[in-house]
């Protein structure tokens, strides 16, 4: 199988806290993770970024130029979104950092059951924050 390509959103507020959601689906089920999503086949990066920001954060129309590219990451998981036995998942992730002016009602609950804001130091200290999320701050 081929890798999936995705965008992760490392969202900060003006106090420097980072938004993480508690994952309700695979992979990374039950851990705190930054918002993000897969890029669809034939979807341009700009369109994917705008769609993912809307789907994950509830912010319509945000352009990719509003964020800072943070690099390319690899996420390897032993499980998969369908829960099928013995099928792993490999993501190639484009990380984008953005700072929000307002944190009122940010986040949608399709992928995450709840959201919290953590300082990078607190995020790194927690055992329930996924290692792939921690990698953005190391």
Annotated binding site for Mg(2+): 36, 56, 111
Element (H, E) at 123: helix 120-125
- Report the C-alpha gap between 98 and 56 in whole angstroms: 14
Secondary structure of 43-106 in HEC code, one letter for each residue? CCHHHHHHHHHHHHHCCCCCCHHHCEEEEEEEEEECCCCCCCCCCCEEEEEEEEEEECCCCCCC
Beta carbons of 28 and 114 less than 8 angstroms apart: no
- Residues facing 8 on adjacent strands: 36, 95
- Report the C-alpha gap between 133 and 11 in whole angstroms: 12
Classify strands 89-99 and 4-12 as parallel, antiparallel or unpaired.
parallel
């Amino acid at each position: 199988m081929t890798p999936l390509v995705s965008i992760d959103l490392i969202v900060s507020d003006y106090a420097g806290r980072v938004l993480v959601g508690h994952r309700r689906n695979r992979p990374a089920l039950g851990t705190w993770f930054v918002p993000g999503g897969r890029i669809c086949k034939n979807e341009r990066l700009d369109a994917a970024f705008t769609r993912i920001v809307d789907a994950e954060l509830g912010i319509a129309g945000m352009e990719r130029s509003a964020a800072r590219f943070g690099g390319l990451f690899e996420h390897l998981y032993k499980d998969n979104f369908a829960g099928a036995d013995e099928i792993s998942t490999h993501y190639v992730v484009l990380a984008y950092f953005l700072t929000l002016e307002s944190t009122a009602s940010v986040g949608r609950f399709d992928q995450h059951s709840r959201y919290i804001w953590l300082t990078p130091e607190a995020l790194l200290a927690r055992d329930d924050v996924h290692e792939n999320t921690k990698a953005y701050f190391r």
